Structure 1
């Protein structure tokens, strides 16, 4: 098949939604993964309503990224149907309520580790062969909000995820797959609103604009 295939993890809102939408409108076959069924259905409706000639297709995957059996099944299905991936963008993240470092809730920490670190690391093991087969690219997105006050739970787990991505990037320079680590412009998303309550959102970038910029880097 000549059509390029992308997996977007965390595709039901924010930048993940915008990336899945714009890639599909540009002709990609997009596997859109997220827990929020309503967000995925809205994404599908948005792409179909555009009615663009040459638009690609969306395959909705309403799954929990922390369910390792489900991720194994998904990646096997991608292999069997398309043979590999040309792109994986990981935007799935768990963001907790703000709290000072001495008041970190251990249940929140466990959930953040499960989503932001363990699930991301497990996906690397599953997706790496698909990207190798498809001569593909993985993209991770760094977040300066990890250094903000009252963001210890999110900050420490997201920082660990990014370190894992940097390790993978360094290990694959000569062998592939290509691993990109990018820092998106500040955007008007729900995640940012958690870290900057009451912020004036008018100067913030639109997720679709930022999605197009990131796609151009490919």
Structure 2
């Protein structure tokens, strides 16, 4: 029976690296807003002999996520893994200068969509599947108000789910990946020397070894 892995935020960075790392053993359901990047990911997965289903969708669209999860159920019945790498990284700003629209986008993607997806994906994972969330130690630092507050809320949701499912499953993991030269980090650290950062492919392997 084919193992399946749903990756939300799969178009680039850690999400894409996880998709490629899992492709030899799992059929990848790759979700992201950027169609072109998903197609490039699919090419790399196929080059390694793997297969993927591309879902160019916005995780904040509840109807789209419901359709996606219903499609997964109808095709495979279950999911083996869900790795949630989707994030909205609002621009850095002092707490008293947070832009209302940026904050609303952060809440919608980082908090509301996560809560919605947990509700939709949990039945697919059952008691044997695994869900993976990614913590960020930058939450709570100066100028990280929109991103940090909503990222912390996302991880709080994940940790509550983790505590609730310890005896029943699914297995919920919260991991902290190393600093990587991603587009998200570039927004927070423009001009940073990236030579000492961990490449997403190496970070993905380290994450999977922790599961």
TM range (shorter): over 0.9
The CA deviation at 1:136 is 0.5
Q: Of 66, 69, 77, which aligns to 1:75?
A: 69
SS of equivalent residue, structure 1 residue 114: helix
Q: Of 187, 191, 201, which aligns to 1:198?
A: 191
CA distance, structure 1, for counterparts of residue 188 and residue 98 of structure 2: 15
SS of equivalent residue, structure 2 residue 163: helix
The CA deviation at 1:149 is 2.0
CA distance, structure 2, for counterparts of residue 105 and residue 214 of structure 1: 33
Deviation larger for 144-153 or 27-36: 144-153
Aligned to 1:60: 54
When the two structures are aligned, how many residues end up with a matched partner?
A: 211
CA distance, structure 1, for counterparts of residue 18 and residue 147 of structure 2: 23
Q: Where does 1:1-218 land on structure 2 (aligned, <5 Å)?
A: 2-24=1-23, 26-50=24-48, 55-132=49-126, 135-218=128-211
CA distance, structure 1, for counterparts of residue 187 and residue 28 of structure 2: 28
CA distance, structure 2, for counterparts of residue 8 and residue 48 of structure 1: 17
The answer to whether the 8 A contact 1:145-1:195 is kept is no
> Unaligned stretches of 5+ in structure 1?
none
The CA deviation at 1:48 is 2.1
Q: For the aligned residues, what is the CA RMSD? A: 1.1
SS of equivalent residue, structure 1 residue 130: helix
SS of equivalent residue, structure 2 residue 74: helix
The answer to whether the 8 A contact 1:148-1:195 is kept is no
The CA deviation at 1:189 is 0.6
CA distance, structure 1, for counterparts of residue 206 and residue 52 of structure 2: 21
CA distance, structure 2, for counterparts of residue 153 and residue 217 of structure 1: 29
TM-score normalised to the size of structure 1? 0.94
The CA deviation at 1:75 is 0.3
